[in-house]
Amino acid sequence: MTEAYDTLIIGAGMSGLAAGIRLAYYDQSVAILERHKTIGGLNSFYRAGGRDYDVGLHAVTNFTPKGAKKGPLSRLLRQLRFQWEDFALAPQQQSRIAFPGVDLAFSNDIRLLESEIARCFPHQVAAFANLRSQVLEYDDLDQAAFDISTRKVLGQIFSDPLLIEMLLCPLMWYGNARVHDMDWGQFCIMFRSIFLEGFARPIRGVRLILKHLVKKFRSLGGQLLLRHGVKEIVSEQGRAVGVILDDGREIQAKRILSSAGWVETQRMMGQTDEVVDEETGQLTFIETITTLNCQPAKLGLSDTIVFYNDSDRFDWRPPHHDLCDLRTGVVCSPNNYQYDDHEQLSDGIIRITSIANFDRWSSLSEADYRREKMVWYDRSSDSAVRFVPEFRHHAIDTDMFTPKTIRRFTWHDNGAVYGAPKKRLDGRTQLENVFICGTDQGFVGIIGAIISGISIANQYCLK
């Protein structure tokens, strides 16, 4: 057996790669073990039918312009020694929260949302200012305030319930692992990252970000081992000593950082499901991707992202009786960013996300699965075109993934995109040298996961 690694990282998603860079940069021997044949995890990329696709990327959140010294984006660029230009982020045009009869536009400048609230909810202007200052005061590291009920806080601030639902809609869509309500800490993080900072995207999509992460990790001497699934974490007297891979090989390590999820990591440490007895995440999605023969703006769609909901109540929960719930959804057009020099994606693209039920999707027979995908492609498009222009007559290609796809390529229970409802902010486990990072530690999204990987690596593997 070879010498033990200083740190083994489980998972080559955003958080694992970021943690790996930190450790390799400070001269640790570190390997990232990834079960899949490629990197990226929940935000990977693929090629199908001669076209490049991103798995997840609608928007990189937390956008701040070059030169900004505050905020997660500038912090992670500094920590990973990247230049602002490396991520080539182009800001969004404008996005929209669409409810029956009311639309609130917002952009990377909070003043637009403020003026929209003044227009549609004139009596809530002061309340919104109050919310904004409470969000700014929230201390990220305060575990006690993290899991208080957001619906309760908002109910005390606003008198108009419709505005509460409209504000919750985009923030829950982009980062809430809980059903119906949201942790106050998560709400504050998402409010800042979406309303106070903003959306952006590299023209080449998520592969550009991943390419930079991997290149840096490798150039610092880190080892990326694909098709290396971890079956078991081996421990002796409360300390991990290494892992056993799916193929039975063993690798030794002084410590382990897992981005595979809390329950998933518990299983690797030998806990049976009854012992873990922890709520797993339930919120998962289908997403349709339609390639158009023209730019979406030609069809009258120039919004970057539209978050829609077809009633006055926003119901954030997985559907029980059907494969999907189409009352709410997200429409994203990657074309609608302010790319440099008026560069543009050659094809028009429209992505539509809807809430789905993991169990129902994964218990379908192969033939039913294929048929249901077609059925729900049509239904989710039908639902979306109530809020955006019809686009299907310009479609030249379509693709779609389901909760089953997410589970197949990331091994997250239930294909849960934002992980378990209960977050583990301190990153610790019952073994003194095993830590978790990424989605279940508490920070979701691309930027959130990267920050999580950095901070857990700093806290437990460097000091």
Partner 1 sequence: MAPEEIREVIIEILGDIAPDEDLGSLDDAVAFREQLELDSMDFLDIVMELRKRYRVQIPEDEYVQLASMRSTVSYLTPKMSEVAK
Ligand X SMILES: Cc1cc2nc3c(=O)[nH]c(=O)nc-3n(C[C@H](O)[C@H](O)[C@H](O)COP(=O)(O)OP(=O)(O)OC[C@H]3O[C@@H](n4cnc5c(N)ncnc54)[C@H](O)[C@@H]3O)c2cc1C
Query: By CB under 6 A, is residue 330 in contact with ligand X?
Result: no
CB of 49 to ligand X, least distance (A): 19
Read off the tokens for 368. 């039913």
Q: Is 27 in the site for partner 1 (CB under 8 A)?
A: yes
The Cα–Cα gap between 363 and 62 comes to 37
State the binding partner of 27 from ligand X, partner 1, none, CB within 5 to 8 A by kind: partner 1
Residue 92's nearest CA partner among 119, 114, 62, 52 is 62
How many CA atoms does the CB half-sphere of 155 hold within 13 Å? 7
**Given 4, 6, 26, 394, the residue binding partner 1 (CB under 8 A):** 26
Structure token pair of residue 18? 């970021």
Decide: is 458 part of the binding site for partner 1 (CB under 8 A): yes
238, 222, 298: which is closest to 16 by C-alpha?
A: 222
- Scanning residues 359 to 418, which ones bind partner 1 (CB under 8 A)? none
Q: Which residue is nearest to ligand X (CB)?
A: 41
Contact between 421 and 182 (Cβ < 8 Å): no
Q: Residues 217, 285, 308, 435: which binds ligand X (CB under 6 A)?
A: 285
Task: Candidates 69, 111, 320, 342: give the one binding partner 1 (CB under 8 A).
Answer: 69
* Distance separating alpha carbons of residues 89 and 174, to the nearest angstrom: 19
**CB-hemisphere CA count at 13 Å for 226?**
9
Q: How many residues bind partner 1 (CB under 8 A)?
A: 16
Phi and psi at 30, nearest 5°, equal -140, 140
* Residue 342 contacts partner 1 per CB under 8 A: no
Beta bridge partners of 106: 95
How far is 424 from 146, CA to CA, in rounded Å? 11
Residues numbered 424-463 forming contacts with ligand X, rule: CB under 6 A = 438-439, 444-446, 449
Distance CA 27, CA 224 (A): 15
Based on CB atoms, which residue is closest to ligand X, 220 or 444?
444
User: What string marks each residue from 181 to 220 as x (binds ligand X by CB under 6 A) or -?
Assistant: ----------------------------------------
CA distance 185 to 198: 18
The nearer residue to partner 1, 7 or 333, going by C-beta atoms, is: 7
Residue number, 414 or 441, with CB nearest to partner 1: 441
User: Which residue's CB is nearer to partner 1, number 148 or number 462?
Assistant: 462
- Which of 78, 123, 215, 408 binds partner 1 (CB under 8 A)? It is 78
If 0-12 CB within 10 Å is exposed, 13-18 middle and 19+ buried, where does residue 320 land?
exposed
Binding partner of residue 41 among partner 1, ligand X, none, CB under 5 to 8 Å per kind? ligand X
| Nearest distance, CB of residue 164 and ligand X, angstroms | 24
Contact with ligand X (CB under 6 A): which of 165, 183, 197, 287? Answer: 287
Q: Closest by alpha carbon to 17, among 433, 423, 457?
A: 457
- b/e per residue 192-211 (b: at least 16 CB within 10 A): bbbbbbbbbbbbebbbbbbe
* Partner whose binding site includes residue 369, from partner 1, ligand X, none (CB under 5 to 8 Å by kind): none
The nearest distance, CB 394 to ligand X, in angstroms, is 23
DSSP 434-461: EEE-STTTT--HHHHHHHHHHHHIIIII
Binds partner 1 by CB under 8 A, chosen from 320, 321, 393, 463: 463
Among 2, 37, 50, 70, binds partner 1 (CB under 8 A): 70
28 scored as a contact of partner 1 (CB under 8 A): no
Residues binding ligand X (CB under 6 A): 10-16, 33-36, 41-43, 56-61, 229-230, 259-260, 264, 285, 287, 406, 410-412, 417, 438-439, 444-446, 449
Residues binding partner 1 (CB under 8 A): 26-27, 67, 69-70, 74-75, 78-79, 81, 83, 454-455, 458, 462-463
